[in-house]
Homo-oligomer: A and B are copies of this chain.
């Protein structure tokens, strides 16, 4: 990620390095707010604008992927570039990763059916995570 910034002749500021470090360590599909909060602990002066600017650059460079979001919610960033399925729990909002070997085949299948210049595909699932299933059953009892 840092190397990509360097190669593209972006300056390696401490803020950018901290954002990149957080992004490469997290597994939570963070929102800009999550990133701001995390980096703010090391850089109490960091601005939200810097977070938005930096993710815009990283997205442009293909180092992270912007995941679309539901009405009113904040966007989230995907840091795992390996093709996989994101499962969103509609109760707690967490996103879980599921590997799926034949995503490339699905891509080809779609590509064959359109005149689009197809760049990439996303597959998302929606449902209730195991933990929330338990919680819901518990609520029912009460």
Least Cβ–Cβ distance between A60 and chain B, in angstroms: 12
How many chain A residues touch B (CB < 8 A): the figure is: 37
Copies of this chain present: 2
Least Cβ–Cβ distance between A33 and chain B, in angstroms: 12
Interface status of A93 (Cβ within 8 A of chain B) = no
Interface status of A18 (Cβ within 8 A of chain B) = no
Do the beta carbons of A125 and B116 come within 8 Å of each other? yes
Residue-wise interface mask of A (48-84) relative to B, using a CB-CB cutoff of 8 A (1 in contact, 0 not): 0000000000000000001111110001000000000
Least Cβ–Cβ distance between A23 and chain B, in angstroms: 16
Alpha-carbon distance A90/B90, docked complex (angstroms):
27
Do the beta carbons of A110 and B133 come within 8 Å of each other? no
Interface status of A1 (Cβ within 8 A of chain B) = no
Q: Which residues of A contact B (CB under 8 A)?
A: 66-71, 75, 85, 87, 89-90, 96, 98-100, 106, 109-110, 113-130, 133
Shortest Cβ-Cβ A-B pairs, 4 listed: A68-B68, A71-B75, A118-B127, A117-B128
